[in-house]
Structure 1
Amino acid sequence: MYQKLWVAPEHLRYPSLIDGSRKGDVYSFGILMQEVITRSPPYNCCNEVIDTVDIIARVASKEKPPYRPNFASDDCPISLHKLMVMCWTEDPENRPEFSAVLKQIRKQTGGSEDDLIDSLLRRMERYTLNLEDIVEERTHQLAAEKKRSDELLYQILPQSVAIELRLGKFVTPEWFDCVTIYFSDIVGFTELSGSSSPMEVISLLNDLYSNFDSIIETFDVYKVETIGDAYMVVSGLPIRNGSDHAAAICKLSLKLLQQIQNFVIRHRPDQKLRLRIGIHTGPCVAGVVGLKMPRYCLFGDTVNVASRMESSGDACKIHISNNTKEILDRIGSFDVEERGQINIKGKGVMTTYWLKAEKKTTTESSISRTDLDS
C-alpha cells in the first residue's frame, strides 16, 4: 500500500491502467522531487498527521483542490516549486513532458551532469523509452503461458467443450445416435501391482499409457479417461464422423494389441503385459459433470455393454459385440470370427465375436506377393 503514494490519481481510480503511462511517471517524479527537496518521505512534509490509506484515498478522490503534499514555496526556488506542482497536476494532459522537466532542472542546477535530480531524470527517461519493449515482452510471455494452459486444458476436455466452459457457458449434454466405445485393462494387473512397489506401479502405468496416448493421436478417437489399469476411448464424439467410428476404434485396437507385445516393464523386463479389449457400438449421451474439476463423461447402455465386452473377453484378444460386427461387415475390411453365444452380466445371452485382423488391400497383397517371389 505504501508504494501507491507515488501512483498517479488516474491509475489509482482505474486499476486497469496499473501498468503505468508516461504522464503517470511524470506525476511520480513530482512526488520524488518533494522527497528530494524536503529530504523527507512523501507527504511527511504535511502539517497534519494522516494515515497512508487515507492519503491514497484522498489522492484518488476528486477533491477540489486535489490533495497533494503541502509545503512552503520558499523551501526551494519558485521555478522548481512551480515545476513540481505542474508534474502532479490533476489532468495528465497538463503535465509537462520529461524533456521539458529536464530542461528546467538543468537550468536551475547550472547544467551539472552530476546533479542527483539530473541523474534521476535520465534514469526515468530510459525507463519510459524501454517501457514499450517491456510491455511487449510481458505480452509475449503471457501469450505463451496462455497457449500452454490451453493445450493442457484441451488434453483434459474436448476443445469445443473447453472453449464453452472458458466463456462461462453451460455445456448442454448431447445425444449421439451411434458411437463406438473401447475398453481395455491389463490381465493380471492386481497380482503384478501386489508384488511391485507403488512407485513401480505408477511408472508402469505412466509408461504404458503415455505410449498409448501417442498412438491414439493418429486416429479419429477421443480418450475419455484412465482409471487404474482401465483405458477408455470413444470414436464418433464429441465430433461426429458418420459411420467411420467403428473402423477407427477397431484399427486402434489392433494397433494397441500389437504395440503392447513390444512394451517393456522397467522393473520386470522379462515379463510381458497382456491386454484385454472390449468394443461395442450404439447410442450414448455425453456431457460435462462437475464445476471444480469438470469431467467429460459418457452415459448410457452402450457404455455398460462395452465394459462387459472387455470384462468377459480373453487376454490378448479383441472382443466385439454384434452391433460392431454388423458395421464391420458393411465396411468389409476386417476379419471377424464368431465366438458364439455367451451370458453377459446384466444383458443375458448375446452372440459376440473376436476381431482378428484388418484385411490387406489389393495393393498391399500384390506388394507382399512380389516380395515373396523375389
Structure 2
Amino acid sequence: MHDLCEGMNFIHTTVSSFHGYLTGSKCLIDKHFILKIGEFGCETLVSLLANEHIKTAIHVPVKKLYWTAPEMLNYQMMPNRATDVYAVGVILLEILSSDYPYPDPEQECKCLLEKISSGAVTPLTIQKDENIRRLRPDLLACLEWTFHLDPNKRPTVAKLLRTLLRQEENFFPGSKRSDRLVDQIMERLNRYAAELEDRVAKQTSDLIKERAQCDTILRQILPGNIVEKLRRCEHVGAEVFDSVTIMFFDLYGFEVSIHQKRLTDLMDLLNAVESQTDSCVNDVDAFKVEAIGDNFMIVSGAPVCNGSRHVGEICKLAISLRSKLEKLLEGREMQLRMGLHSGSIAAGMVGFRKPRYCLFGDTVNTASRMMSHGLPGKTQMTGIAADLLRKSCSQFRMISRGVIKIKNKEPMETFWLLNEPSY
C-alpha cells in the first residue's frame, strides 16, 4: 500500500501527470517484494484504450472495469489524476481484503456496471472484510472520498499517503515510513544475522576456551615448541642436545609409608608435591619430563637450548623445591633425595595416542644414579655438573662428598649442593 501511494504520488508530480489506466494488473512485485507501477507515461494510448474499453464495456469482463471511475464509464471525462485516485482506492481495498473488490463478478454484469457508474455501489459499500473494519476512522473516511462521484472532492494521492502512514503507526507503534514488506523481511534477516553472529561469537569464545584448556593440558605433557609444531602439522623428530642438566628427585621413605598410611592420604600428598613442583618449574627455565609415583625427572637446556645456564637453573630449582616441599613433608617420615648431572642427550616425542617427551642417553642414567646413590635431605651432583656450575653460576656453594662407587659406572667424585646460595 505504501509503495502504491508513493509510486502514484511520484507519477502525479512528474511530467507524466497521471497514469490513466491503473488497474491491479499494472501493479507488479519485484524480487525484493517492492510494488512497482507499470504502463504509465503514454497519455494518448491510454485515452484510446480507455475509450475502447468503455465503448465495449458490455463485451468486456466486469472485473476488467473494477478500477474505472464512474465518470469514465458515463463518458463524462477522460483519464486524469482524479480517476487515478479512484483506481488507487480500489487497489488499496483489494490489498486490505485480499479479494476482488466486487463479489460474484460473473453474475449480473450489466446491472453491476450500471450501479458502479451511478455511484450506487462502491467497493467499500459491499466490502465486509474485518481488516476494513479495523481501519482508522480518518483512513476509512479518506477511502470513502476516493469513490466520490464528484472527482473534485476526491483526495489527492499525497493525502492518502499521509493518512496511510498514520494507519501504519496505529497497527505498528513505532514503525517508520520505510516499514514495507521488504523492509520487514530485511529487518528480520538483520535480526537473525545479529543473533547468528552472537551465537557464532559465543561458540567461537567457547572454542577458544576449549583450545586454551587443550593447550594447557598438552603443555603439561609436551614442551611448548613441540605443541606448536603439532598444531602446524609439522613432523616432530628426535634432536641431539650437546649440553643439558637433568635432575631426578624422589620422596625417600615413601615406599615404606605405603604399608603404613592410608592410600588416600598418600594420594593427597603426591598431588600437593606435584602441584608445588609444577609451580617451581614454571619459575625457572626447565621442563618437567615425567613423574612416576614419587619419582620426578626435570631437564633444563632441552627442548630449548639455553647455553650454559641449564645447570644454574636446575640448582635454583633444587633449592626452591627443597624449601617448599620440606614444609609439606614436615611430620612425615619422608625426605627429599635429589641428584643431577650435566651432559649430552637425545630427545624427542614418542607415541601418538599417548605422546610423551622422552630423553635418551648416558646422561639420564648418570643423573638417576646420583639420586639413588645420594642421601635423604641432600642434593648430589657429578663432578662434570659441579665444574660447569662453577664456571657459569658462581653464587652456588658446593662441598665434595669424595669418590664413591656408582652402579655400572667407574668410581667418581661427587658433590653436595648446599641449600643456600652465596650471593
Q: Secondary structure at the match of 1:261?
A: helix
Give the match for residue 225 of structure 1.
290
Amino acid at match of 1:154: R
Amino acid at match of 1:254: I
Using the alignment, how far apart are the partners of 2:314 and 2:367 within structure 1? 12
- 1:313 CA drift (Å): 0.2
Using the alignment, how far apart are the partners of 1:186 and 1:129 within structure 2? 58
Q: Secondary structure at the match of 1:326?
A: helix
Residue of 296, 306, 310 corresponding to 2:367: 306
Q: Secondary structure at the match of 1:334?
A: coil
Give the match for residue 246 of structure 2.
181
Give the match for residue 34 of structure 1.
none
- Asked whether 1:336 is paired with 2:398, we answer yes
Give the match for residue 201 of structure 2.
136
Give the match for residue 289 of structure 1.
350
- 1:360 CA drift (Å): 2.6
Amino acid at match of 2:246: I
Amino acid at match of 1:346: N
- 1:358 CA drift (Å): 4.4
Q: Structure 2 vs 1, CA of residues 134 and 359 (structure 1 numbering), >3 Å: closer, same or farther?
A: closer
Using the alignment, how far apart are the partners of 1:106 and 1:179 within structure 2? 87
Give the match for residue 155 of structure 1.
220
The answer (yes or no) to whether the contact 2:326–2:336 under 8 Å persists in 1 is: no
Using the alignment, how far apart are the partners of 2:351 and 2:327 within structure 1? 38
Using the alignment, how far apart are the partners of 1:189 and 1:132 within structure 2? 56
Give the match for residue 317 of structure 2.
252
TM-score by structure 2 length?
Answer: 0.55
Q: Secondary structure at the match of 2:411?
A: strand
Give the match for residue 271 of structure 1.
332
1:18-38 alpha-carbon deviations (Å, 9 max, x no partner) = xxxxxxxxxxxxxxxxxxxxx
The answer (yes or no) to whether the contact 1:333–1:358 under 8 Å persists in 2 is: no
Using the alignment, how far apart are the partners of 2:317 and 2:221 within structure 1? 20
Q: Aligned residues: percent identity?
A: 38
Give the match for residue 41 of structure 2.
none
Alignment map for 1:1-374 (pairs within 5 Å): 96=32, 108=98, 126-263=191-328, 270-271=331-332, 273-330=334-391, 331-361=393-423
1:85-138 alpha-carbon deviations (Å, 9 max, x no partner) = x9xxxxxxxx757x99xxxx9885969989xxx9x9797774344222222222
1:170-190 alpha-carbon deviations (Å, 9 max, x no partner) = 201111000000000111111
Using the alignment, how far apart are the partners of 1:107 and 1:321 within structure 2? 99
1:248-301 alpha-carbon deviations (Å, 9 max, x no partner) = 11111112112222115xxxx732530000000000011000011110110000
Amino acid at match of 1:280: H
Q: Secondary structure at the match of 2:341?
A: strand
- 1:153 CA drift (Å): 1.4
Amino acid at match of 2:408: G
Amino acid at match of 1:356: L
- 1:203 CA drift (Å): 1.1
Q: Secondary structure at the match of 1:131?
A: helix
Q: Structure 2 vs 1, CA of residues 237 and 348 (structure 1 numbering), >3 Å: closer, same or farther?
A: same
Using the alignment, how far apart are the partners of 1:178 and 1:125 within structure 2? 62
Using the alignment, how far apart are the partners of 2:96 and 2:375 within structure 1? 90
What runs of 5+ residues in structure 2 fail to find an aligned partner?
1-24, 36-94, 100-130, 135-170, 173-180
Q: Secondary structure at the match of 2:327?
A: coil
Q: Structure 2 vs 1, CA of residues 341 and 134 (structure 1 numbering), >3 Å: closer, same or farther?
A: same
Using the alignment, how far apart are the partners of 1:133 and 1:225 within structure 2? 42
- 1:169 CA drift (Å): 2.0
Comparing 129-138 with 156-165, greater Cα deviation is found at 129-138
Q: Structure 2 vs 1, CA of residues 129 and 283 (structure 1 numbering), >3 Å: closer, same or farther?
A: closer
Using the alignment, how far apart are the partners of 2:334 and 2:280 within structure 1? 17
The answer (yes or no) to whether the contact 1:263–1:273 under 8 Å persists in 2 is: no
Using the alignment, how far apart are the partners of 2:204 and 2:320 within structure 1? 43
RMSD value, Cα: 3.0
Q: Secondary structure at the match of 1:190?
A: helix
1:41-78 alpha-carbon deviations (Å, 9 max, x no partner) = xxxxxxxxxxxxxxxxxxxxxxxxxxxxxxxxxxxxxx
Amino acid at match of 1:220: D
The answer (yes or no) to whether the contact 1:260–1:273 under 8 Å persists in 2 is: no
- 1:202 CA drift (Å): 1.5
The answer (yes or no) to whether the contact 1:261–1:272 under 8 Å persists in 2 is: no
Q: Structure 2 vs 1, CA of residues 290 and 271 (structure 1 numbering), >3 Å: closer, same or farther?
A: same
Using the alignment, how far apart are the partners of 2:191 and 2:381 within structure 1? 71
The answer (yes or no) to whether the contact 2:397–2:422 under 8 Å persists in 1 is: no
What runs of 5+ residues in structure 1 fail to find an aligned partner?
1-78, 87-94, 362-374
The answer (yes or no) to whether the contact 2:290–2:298 under 8 Å persists in 1 is: yes
The answer (yes or no) to whether the contact 1:183–1:307 under 8 Å persists in 2 is: yes
Using the alignment, how far apart are the partners of 2:208 and 2:325 within structure 1? 39
For this pair of structures, how many residues does the alignment match?
A: 258
Give the match for residue 178 of structure 2.
none
Amino acid at match of 2:416: W
Q: Secondary structure at the match of 1:257?
A: helix
